[in-house]
Amino acid sequence: MQEKQQLLDTHARIRPVIHRTPVMSSRQINAIVGADIYFKCENFQKTGSFKYRGASAAVSSLSEAEKQRGVVTHSSGNFAQAVALAARNLGVTADIVMPSNAPQVKKNAVQGYGGLLTECAPTIAAREAGSLAIQKQKGATALHPSNQIEVILGQGTATMELLEDHPDLEAIFVPVGGGGLLAGTAMAATHFGQNCVVYAGEPFEVDDAYRSLQSGQIETNATANTIADGLRTVLGDINFPIIQKYVKAIIRVEEDEIVAAMRLIWERMKIIIEPSCAVPLAALIREKDRFAGQKIGIVLSGGNVDLSQLPF
């Protein structure tokens, strides 16, 4: 019950600053899959992704003294933008460490949202060192994009809303990268669903989460050769036990399946999603016989696509 109350408290705290995103469906996609699918459109969330929920939850949970000292994070994309705006909306200074090779459009967005941008070498070590230096210098609170309980609870609020609109969903599909969205979704489905089962989609090219569930310990990837750039990160020690406890299975998909699912949503639903966002639909299509006739939710995680890098 503690988790349920934490989710309720988090949603109440961030509700005034987030969009309650729409739920959409497509008769054509339903016919292709053979199921009734309800898409929770977090591509319409502020900053273009679900990560604004977790960032708002984390910043709003700080004490007044912590807010005065500001926050810091390192990110190459969606979480950077989410923290910058969430902090600005609450009057908190946000330092954002970004790799020098991050897309200029994302750097511009961070600065446009009021974030203080620090560039670093394009390595995880450099990002962590830059973030730690600011932490020590300013006393800022470090925020993690996926392995922090406040962030996980914030991400879970998307599924809470989806289940308020459609309480009889039998399954919910999300992508898995760092694991924050998957952990939050699984918690929310467990406490607010009616025997609602959670699945994740993951590219074969970066199947660390799938292998982690098999081995019982956090695995890493030798390469990151996937179009789903938002899923190249690995699970953390806070979200992994939640995923182990509540997630039914992870379904892996090929790169061409991701592109096909992305194209399907663009063409049939007339909305923009990024490649990572297409992975759960790709997973459902791959295993559609298992889910025939079911009522299924999919969290469309974001729409921050680089239009110069479209795969079609």
Catalytic residues: 51, 76
Strand ranges (E), 152-269: 171-175, 197-203, 249-253
Place of tokens 């730690």: 132
DSSP state of 170: S
Say if CB 269 and CB 38 are below 8 A apart: no
Spatial distance between the Cα atoms of 157 and 160, rounded to a whole number of angstroms:
5
Query: Apex CA 180: angle with CA 247 and CA 210, to 5°?
Result: 45
Place of tokens 């109350």: 5
Stated length of the chain: 312
Spatial distance between the Cα atoms of 80 and 96, rounded to a whole number of angstroms:
6
Spatial distance between the Cα atoms of 139 and 66, rounded to a whole number of angstroms:
8
Nearest to 239, CA basis, from 290, 198, 195, 271:
198
Question: In the numeric block, which tokens belong to residue 231?
Answer: 């899923």
